[in-house]
Structure 1
């Protein structure tokens, strides 16, 4: 039996954290909307699945590929009464040894990345040409966690309250800060896969947090682009993109005091939303309480609009881009990207020859048209509780405060309780 110790309450904090261990030694952390003490008893007799994690380097694309053989045996679309993310009952023990919960995070039993040995920065210069051309092998490293947004199996993230969405944001920020302190983690990615069309294997409302042991290809390109732009233009690429979208206005979907949601002019996907903070923030833990509250209301509004686009819940991938641990300060701006492969009620966007074979995307819907559809869906249709009582109607003509000085009520950062 483990007593999950409640973290000291911090000013402006809504999520209240307590941590414990599962029967096989994995960490589990509860984030509650209100303070409480939990007693955790995982009565299962389980061990971690066999099969190690390995990484192999692709010298052609200069990218790492993870080999995680144990994932081949992970749970795949179980019936609702066998869902491993639902609360534990008297008749069945699950991954969450509690009768109910608000938000819970735990180490993935079938991780893509696992280990505490970082990738050496000089791994290419310390190996031979023969080894490099054969594919350098590295022991697995990093960390993977599961985030359950609610204990209601039949719900969706779009249906939770604004208070619960804020708890989710706090959990993302907390785990980002903790993972970046791990020796085998270089970059943290908080994301959600939603819908069988995307490839989800569990229907319970949940997301994941990956702690990569290297800078991912997409982020590496973003950083290189931002550095090149700063050298050539003497300016911040992300700030200029936001200012350009605000000036144009046609692709702005929604704006609040602290955030702007837009579809970029170069959108690859039929539905592709980018959500930028107006302040130059690099990572989730840096967000203030006001920024977190504002995002929670805006995000729920956008998710609800997405579900009205077609004839059912929108399948999507949504994730946070944030600065890696070793990134040069000032290059990256925190932002969220949400995209969907749905392009019509009965049509999906498949990554076929050009996209999969050559990496060249072809979008069937003009970004301006999709932005207009999402704007129209938001006109008076958002639920007042989910959108927040003080949320303004979407606008495209008022300038947001871009790159303002950090607010004076920024949340203090505290050490995690162990």
Structure 2
């Protein structure tokens, strides 16, 4: 955009040259309509603008000017005041109403000052120029008007550009929100998948420890379930419930270092040397998980799950609240299952007798609150069961089906965890295993 021009310092020829320069640089041809009932006047105006770069047309009456405007609107109208039929004031008033963006300039004599004022009021004339006019004044007026038009056009262009940018930004924001939501959903699904695979891996590893057979088969899985249910009944945080569950699955990992002959004996029948060796499994279990940052809390629970509330436990002789709550829960769940499988006595106890033994240890061996919650949880009436699972053969399985509960091997090992989603490849492997082992597999599937 050119800077404003000092019209007082320019001759008529200079103004013509400046106007031509403006049109070339702006790449727009400004249109002028000159209206006067005297042909020599409009001819003079046409000659005046020659070489300016403006597109000039003429009309010798108001009606002719209106007809031209209806065919091709213009940017600027110079109109004489006194014309037969339709005066300049009437013409400019019609132009104001019908073509408000067209700038209007009145050419008038000194004797017409009253009519000129009326024309300015009714036609909203930009300015009036007296006859005989000064060429420099006419050219400067046209230049100022077109410069103002150019500024208005630029303002309109920038406003439209801003609206377009804002619209694009709004669409981008909407798209971005959708992309963020989609990505968040993907990450959430991935996180849930990793969590599920993490727990499944722990279950599988736990079963590998129990494949040594004997009375401990299935023990860790049952203890983990009891520990999680107790933690939930105590309204512990979700993370603490999971830690208790994982610690239940892994609490005997230290027993990998113990010989089979020692594990086959009930604890009361162990010799002093064997007892000392057996008691090391809690510390060994902690050490086995020490390198895993995510297992720090779990490893502490495992180390302390044989501590007693009265301080007579091992390996550290912790007392009361010094013992992690997860370890207090695990101690009760572990002992309860050990009593029923005969690991702590010569003969297995019934569930009722095992509960009685747990109750006797309240406040001495076990944390009193944990015992109260644990026993209440066991005695509480079972909730209404969900719809029973569909028991399907492998030939009936379809991708997308979900296991209703853990799929166990004949040795009690977890082959697939509950809530596992079946895939075509997994179904193929199950059928292959079924044929290889010559054992029909029946899977519990959610309805």
Measured against the shorter chain, the TM-score band is under 0.3
Which structure: greater strand fraction? 1
Which structure: greater helix fraction? 2
What's the TM-score, normalizing by structure 2?
A: 0.22
Question: Which of structures 1 and 2 has the larger relative contact order (alpha carbons within 8 angstroms, sep 6+)?
Answer: 1
What's the TM-score, normalizing by structure 1?
A: 0.23
Q: Which of 1 and 2 has greater Rg?
A: 2
